[in-house]
Structure formats: C-alpha cells, structure tokens
Structure 1
Amino acid sequence: MNIERKDTLRGQLELKLGEQLNALISAAHALNVRTAASFDSSIQPAAFHIVRWLYSYGPTSASTLAEATAMDRSSVSRLLKQLEILGYVKREDSPKDRRAILLTLTDLGRHKTYDSLQDKEFVFYERIAQWNNQQLETFTQMLKEFNGF
C-alpha cells in the first residue's frame, strides 16, 4: 500500500478535508439531536431516526427497519413500542401477506416529523442560500462521488 507522507501538499490537503468532514459529521449529529428533541423531547435520537426512516421510505417490517438503521432488533423493538405508546407509529397488516405486520407513521407522527424536519432543513439551506446553481450542482456532484454513487 502506498501511503503518502502527511508533510506533502497532498497529505496536508487530505488532513484539511478530514477536518471538514469531521466538522460536518459533528454538526449533522448535533442538529439531529436537536431535531429529535423538537419532535418529542421524551424520546431518544435513535427513536427519531426510526421515525425519519419511516417518513422517508414508508411502511416496513421491524426487521427491515433494524437492518436499514443499523440497529439491533431488540433496540428497534423497544423504540417502536415507545413510539407506538406515544401515538407516532402504528402496526398494520401487510396488504401482500396478511401474516406480516408493517410499521407506519400515524397522522400525528407524519405531521410532527414534517414540522421538525422543516426546522432542521432551514439550518442547512441557510448555509447554501448565497450559492448560485452551478456551485450547488458542483457541490452535490462532488458529494455524490465521494459517497460512492
């Protein structure tokens, strides 16, 4: 493996990129925690992660949720129970297989998620408001490539 020395220009640029990626990850995490609290301060951010996933992708099984959110099944089960008790998530029979149960957001869950995400999105949109379309397109394309898409 060829590892460049960190005292080269390339090495310094890679370190600066790492600093900025860490700053982005930290800011995104802090914003996620704040957004979860604005949704419902009594739930953990991990529960809001489940809510956001259901909001984005729709009804699904508990096992799919666990896999998609990289959480163990027991944690997902515990968090789903809490979300059900609070009235944000409900269980429905699958239209394709009556033996299967799908989890979905209730109307309350959808409305509260929408409101919370509006506040969260504003923080990021505020940062790019002065960018022209070309800058935004370039940034988006570079992130897409960086993320392997």
Structure 2
Amino acid sequence: MNAERKDTSRGQLELKLGGQISALISASHALNVRTAAAFDSSIQPAAFHIVRWLYSYGPTSASVLAESTAMDRSSVSRLIKQLENLGYVRREDSPNDRRAILLTLTELGRQKTFDALQDKEFIFYERIAQWDNQQLETFIQMLQEFNGFNDN
C-alpha cells in the first residue's frame, strides 16, 4: 500500500485494525502458552498444540497431524513420544487399516485438556460477558467474514 493511502481516514482505520489484529494474535499466543503450562508445565507449547488438535478433531495419523499443525514430521514424532511417556497420548490400530496407527488422547489427556481449556475460555468469556446476543452475533459474523468462513 502506498504512503498516500495511509494519509486517508480509511488508511488510518486500516492501520488501527492491523494494530488490533496484532494485539489479538499476541494475546492469543500468550494465552496459549499459559494454557499449555496449565496442562503440564514440563511440555513445550508445541506439544500442547498437538494435544489441542487431537482433542478437537480426534484420532489421526502422525503424518496428518504434522500437516495439520504445520510441524515437520520429526518434531511431531518427538513430541508424540514425550506425550506418550507422560500418559496423555496412545497409539492404536486404525479400524479401517490394521497396518495404520492412529494417535489418540488417553482419558487423562482428555481430562487435563478440558481442565486447561476451561481456564482459557473463562478469560475470553469474561471479556464478552457484558455483550448482548446481537453484539455477539455481529462480532461472530464479522470474524467469520474476515477469516473467509462465510456460511450464510
């Protein structure tokens, strides 16, 4: 974008929006790091990212997990090994292909994830507690449009 555009009121608004998006990303990252520590302070936040993915989407292969989390396969393998040793993740045979192995959360992994996410969600819910339903619906719709998820 050229310098003249930033002198307009629209340009100034776009800069303010960029600042708010940056603040949201930074706050979200910090909250994710704290949530990972609440889950288990001995693991890296990247390991909790794997746990969080498994919690949301269920059992999967290591290759799908690596692709879905944008991590290289060796990092996923190392983190999965750590999570297995701690009792949070286990390997199981795929019901569709007995040669394939799926990674899944153990009951301990599910419960600790639920507990950690409860604390995280409370912080976000606290910020929107005073909003009425229309404000919340508008915010959700605008975020969906911004993120490219129009489901009208």
Question: Please, what TM-score do these two structures have when normalized by structure 2?
Answer: 0.96
In structure 2, distance between residues paired with 1:91 and 1:118? 26
Q: Provide the residue aligned with 2:75 in structure 1.
A: 75
Q: Provide the residue aligned with 1:6 in structure 2.
A: 6
Alignment: residue pair count: 148
In structure 2, distance between residues paired with 1:147 and 1:71? 22
User: Pairwise CA RMSD of aligned residues?
Assistant: 0.9
In structure 1, distance between residues paired with 2:120 and 2:98? 37
Query: Is 1:59 the counterpart of 2:53 in the alignment?
Result: no
Q: Provide the residue aligned with 1:135 in structure 2.
A: 135
Q: Provide the residue aligned with 1:45 in structure 2.
A: 45
State the shift of 1:5 in Å: 1.5
- Superposed, 1:44-123 pairs within 5 Å as 44-123=44-123
In structure 2, distance between residues paired with 1:33 and 1:63? 24
> SS state of the match for residue 51, structure 1?
helix
Question: Please, what TM-score do these two structures have when normalized by structure 1?
Answer: 0.98
In structure 2, distance between residues paired with 1:26 and 1:53? 20
How many percent of aligned residue pairs carry the same amino acid? 85
> SS state of the match for residue 90, structure 2?
strand
Runs of 4+ in 1 over 4 A off after TM superposition: none
> SS state of the match for residue 7, structure 2?
coil
Whichever residue aligns with residue 47 of structure 1, its letter is: A
> SS state of the match for residue 80, structure 2?
helix
In structure 2, distance between residues paired with 1:62 and 1:21? 32
In structure 2, distance between residues paired with 1:141 and 1:68? 25
Structure 1's unaligned 5+ residue stretches are: none
